[in-house]
Structure 1
Amino acid sequence: MVSQRNPRSMVRALLAGGAAMVLALSGAASAVAAEAPTSTVSGVVTAEDTGLPLAGVSVFVNSTDFSSNGADSTNADGTYAVAGLEPGEYTVRFATDSTGTDYVSEYWNGVHNWSSATRITAVGGDEITGVDASLVLGGSISGTVTRAEDATPVAGVTVSFVSDAGGETRSATTDDAGHYRSVGLLPASYTVRFDSPDEALADEYWNGAKDAWSATRVAVVSGQETTGVDASLTGVATITGSVTLADGSPATGFVSVSGPDSADASVPISADGSYRLPFSPGSVTVYFQSDDPRVLSEYWENAGSPETATPVSVSSGQTVVLDAQLEAAGVISGVVRGEDGPLYDAIVAASKDGQVVGMAYTKGDGSYSISVPAGTYTVRAESGYGPGAVHAPQYFDHAATWADATAVTLVSGGEAAGTDFDLTVGGDIAGTVRTDDGGVVAADVVAYLWSGGQWREVARTETNGVYSFSWMGAEVGGGVLPAGTYRIGVEADGYCPQFYGGAFDIRDGHSIDVASGSRITGVDVELAVECVVPETEPSIALDRSSVEAGGTVAVTGERFQPGEVVEFELHSDPIALGTLTADADGRVAGSLTIPASAPVGAHTLVALHDEGGVQASAALQVTARSGSGGSGSGSGSGPTGGGAVTALATTGAELPMAAVTLGAVLAVFGVALVRRRRIS
């Protein structure tokens, strides 16, 4: 309501204003500078189950930046009032810790954590009423903490209670008798932890657990006390020793332990290289972690991974000395560039025996450095999640596949500088995987790149129906597939391995050409339960069943290894005929010359594998040459169907016609003599 002023009040106001001016002119303005008006928050606190007022509840009113705070305690009638609050935004908390009851503390309005609390805005000079609370009756947890060694009580143990439902962590402290009791816990399941003030005793969770994940939960029921949540603390196990470099100087970093029977623990290495680490007794893996990138961290004993580490078992009260000497690292370094310059945040990984040993992210100038033990590595770079189109991964030195990579060899303390990469924008293949009845199934989709004369796996992704090798590429362009020719395979439990194009063998699949920056869609595969077992053995076919000696025969074959150089011979007495090279589909095609000296009669033309054995064959009749010049002689025609052929030159001398005729006459004469002898 707006109030009106009368003439007298106006006069008084003028006089007051004049007096204030005089005081200001005399340098005493600060004496009349009125304090900023403050606000008051008030309300009533009651019990939810009975509706009765609760006395002794602490009420805390705090500004959200904690610069202005106020507090009060509820009276016998449950009322409170917190005055003197400066303008701002506040939270109100009703704390029951001092009441000795099991009513649960809360924030206004009816929540149990600060972040969810309803804020109150004070503007100054106002009274904010009705900030009431109706507190829930909770439960409590109680127990006793003793030493496992002699069952004597342990005083000063902090017992904390963390609800599975969230909210604030509550705590209690053991008294001289080792006893504790929580108050005001919300009905829920709790993780209970015992933190001893005595460094000689190991901390633990209930019931004897070493970590929160294996702790037994304690149920709290409204209005009830859960008793017997006791702890018997064991003496700590200890490892101690020194961590040095190869030259004997102290290392810097940390020593940590972890294990299934012990809680994780760590301690920094002292300036003189020494350390002392207490932890819960049990079998642990010990890790010596260097904070110098040119010094290798290691696991006990001289191991590079937790899997190869030697476990250390330490019992309660026992101290084990473990000294470690850390080796100098080898360093692989270089620059990763894209088509527009250095790539920031690219990922470079060094692998050995199929396992990643070290990795790094590139800096703004594209540079990186990886510290690894001495050895031989395969190094791979990918564009990561930096800005711009997705680049295809690349192996050193500018290889698209692992098999084509150039190995990087390091000695201890050495550096393989100049391990650089020039990434290009890749492409993507996308499609669907369905069962033959139209359903979806979890499957792995594999992209095979034609490289080095064979199909090599370059990418793999999981799908439940729809797949893509580069989901980001669909939004920003590019992809993880290097430009080239691909075939797509699908592997799913309970289904036959299949390839795009309805094939059950990669050699029979359909090829997909992927260009830089392209995204090929609609590459769909339908899975079948019954497999059509493809022919796996190579086979050859001839364009004729007989050929004159010195003539040529056209050969086709399939199911050879892509890129394989296949040798051909004429059997039974081996006569080398030449070679044909299989194409990307494992097919060969070309012409072979039968030497003029080849014996007349039935033969077998065979294809040999690397070890010299026969892998395919076809029957061939060799007939005598007609005429003096022979028929179909020459060095053979070039390859057809994409195969490559190397034919042997015709060998041996051709007999004069007279000699051939004489031989035929003698043969007839000989037959006649044999018949006469048999008749006689």
Structure 2
Amino acid sequence: MCAAVLLAGPPAVLADAPASAQQAVRLDRVASGLDQVEQRLARLEADVDRSERIDASPPPVFAREARRILASIDDAIRPLRGLNWRVADAPLDRALKLRDRALAVKQRLDSWPAVSQQVDEDLPVVTDAGLGTGAISGDLTDEATGDPIIFTRVRVYCPNIGFDGLAISDATGHYVMNGLGTGTCYVRTMNKLGYLDELWDDIPCPDSYCRMTNGTPIAVTDGSETTGIDFALEKAGGIRGTVTDVATGDPVSGVDVMVYNDSGGYLGSVTTGQDGVYVIDRLPAGTYYARTSSDDYLDELWDDILCNFSCSPTDGTPITVSSGSLTEGIDFALQRGGSISGTVTDEDTGLPLSSANVSVYDASGRNLDSTYTAHDGTYTVTDLFAGQYFVRISHYGYATELYDDIICSGCDPTTGTPVAVTTGGDTSGIDAALSKGSTVSGHVTSAGSGAPLVNAWIYLYDASGNYLSNTNTDPVGAYALTARYPGTYHVVAKEASHVNELYDDIPCQPSCDPTAGDPIVVNAHSDTPGIDFALDLGGSIRGTVTDAANGAPLQYVEVTVYDDSGTQVAVTGTGSDGTYTVQGLLAGNYFAVATDG
């Protein structure tokens, strides 16, 4: 019946007291952590926004930072564990909003580039679109000299009349696309002569992923020529250099070199070849900054400035680029980063745990990087500076640990055992055997007969009265609850026909503050047995609700029971025959109120 279901629910917690001094410290830690995350996230969002605006493919370091931010959000809210939900609600809501933003950035990076942005290098070269008698024409010239730019491709894109093709400038720099119908078109250059390509009208279009519709729309009318769609292009400058291993002098391939403008805005990246050489071309004259990104080497800003993702590009040495020439010698000699590796297993079975999260922190407790274990339980965190670090390992269903074998529930990561990392070396053997936690166990019987109570509900609460989990008793009245972390807990037992109890032997009707019960101390990796309950058989109230006019039984009428102090004790509803029953009541006087509709 409804009454039984109602009585089996978690007991309500009484009104909260103001946050304690300890809670205030934990809330301050959460707020500070989320402030740092929000600053990093805002910067990443700005860099990704700029990548999309200029259609430059984002470097892998952006995706790594998105993953790190997601891990940092999880870390920031760990101190909320064990706090009353009313205290934790606001910071948790903020964290969830930040997580949504970080996931949105990650999804944007994962989906780059969109198909609609790609330019088909094999578009047909045509002089007549064959869709009408309209036309677009213009001239291509060198911005500095006024000389014509000859034999250069010009893309004409008219989405609403279904045309996309290439015209070619002639020996005078003039181009024309005939055969267009009435519609809206966009035009850009696609040169291979060392100029900076543009969308009309005077809009930079730096690479092949430039969105045509970012240009100025051009109205074309069937039967007439739209003239003056001209381009005066600037000769591009660029940056060239070589990336080497500082210890051996050997060239390093596969390193991303990123370039930023004079205000630190991300512009694009290239990857070094087998000879370690990179070239960043198609840059307008101006001031730039460059940095590396590599999984195996420590990142640097040019010139020879060590850099993690949080460093500002403008902390580097400025690089001057002139129109029409490469700025040479922007070289990097990189140090190999250190690494931490190990294996994560199940403490009970010894089997490897895949998909365990491994996070690395610096001495200030800042999350630097995180990864997940492979199918064989192994992991490696690379690209670390020489120094001391702390490692936290977590997996769903297991107690979180700090290295080395330190149970961690919302703890400060720097309370773990420090792990020393050397430049170019791997600190191996940083293993963890995760436990599913300790247990609280006991039996539930009826006080009158001593008979075991089957399917009684047992609820576990932490020291602050926060509900954690529940279970049912088995056919012999036994139960076991998992307490994942060592500490103090409280337990409540409920059975429909018996009086609810807090451990130890404290009546709990209709609800109670779990912390009013006797505390149960749970140690790490152990069972706390003997948390037994002998529940008193409760009294009951039964009755029938009928229609006063005709005596017919009324179904679905709500019946609320109050004790003699006016406190609501239970709510139930009538069945098809108009009857109701409220069980598990302490001896005393009660009032029943029937409400229909």
- The TM-score range, normalised by the shorter chain, is 0.3 to 0.5
| TM-score, normalization by structure 2 | 0.43
Larger-gyration structure (1/2): 1
| TM-score, normalization by structure 1 | 0.38
Task: Give the structure with the higher percent helix.
Answer: 2
